[in-house]
Amino acid sequence: MTNLKKSLSWNIFYLLFILVLGQLDRSNTPIINFAAYFYLTAIVIVPIMIFVPSLHKISVVVPMTFWGAIYFALFRITERANTGSTNVEVIILELVLLEAGVWLSYQLAVVIEGSQSLMDLLAQGTFPYQALELDDAMDQIKNEFARSRRFHHPLAVVVVHAFNKDEEAAREMLKSLQ
């Protein structure tokens, strides 16, 4: 959970940093004049990287390359002189900040996925009445049949027929249960 807190904190800090950079100005001129599409791209990257599960199952290099290509496509399409500074330093800073956002959101998505699998494992132990393999549950089934007979109460048994490679063995097992 500590990694989850760190990753979430870094992503929040990243988004706040990007938004604050847009508001900093001296005498009605921005200190760093980023292009308008930079802010939009930086803010869109984080939720897309976190909520699209296929993006964090691959190497982080692929999304970083993809978002870098998107940035350069926007750079070529728009007239940068109207929306932001044309200095090379500002363009490089924009690219570095975008790639940092991709990396941070990728790390958060990986930590969230790891936490989800940990929560699933903990939940399996919490709920004892889950589906069991027939061999594992045979003693429990026999005890329930005996209890049902002893107290003259009906017993409901749910058998789920799963498609198995060996259909005949599954059918014989179901017939023996009936």
Question: Is the same domain home to 87 and 117?
Answer: yes
What does the pLDDT read at residue 162?
A: 61
DSSP, residue by residue, 57-91: SS-THHHHHHHHHHHHHHHHHS-HHHHS---HHHH
Residue ending a domain, among 109, 126, 143, is: 126
Question: Is the same domain home to 145 and 82?
Answer: no
Q: State the Cα–Cα distance between residues 174 and 178, nearest whole angstrom.
A: 6
Its pTM stands at 0.62
- What total number of domains does the chain contain? 2
Residue ending a domain, among 126, 142, 162, is: 126
Question: Is the same domain home to 117 and 141?
Answer: no
Question: Is the same domain home to 166 and 99?
Answer: no
Say which range, 23-37, 100-114, 144-158, has the weakest mean pLDDT: 23-37
Could you list the residue range(s) of the whole structural domain that residue 163 is in?
134-177
**Residue 164 above 60 pLDDT?**
no
pLDDT-based confidence at 98, cuts 50/70/90? very high
Tokens of 83: 């929306």
Question: Is the same domain home to 120 and 138?
Answer: no
Q: CA neighbours within 13 Å on the CB side: how many for 13?
A: 9
Question: Is the same domain home to 64 and 16?
Answer: yes
Question: Across residues 138-145, what is the average pLDDT?
Answer: 84
Question: Is the same domain home to 170 and 107?
Answer: no
Question: Is the same domain home to 108 and 148?
Answer: no
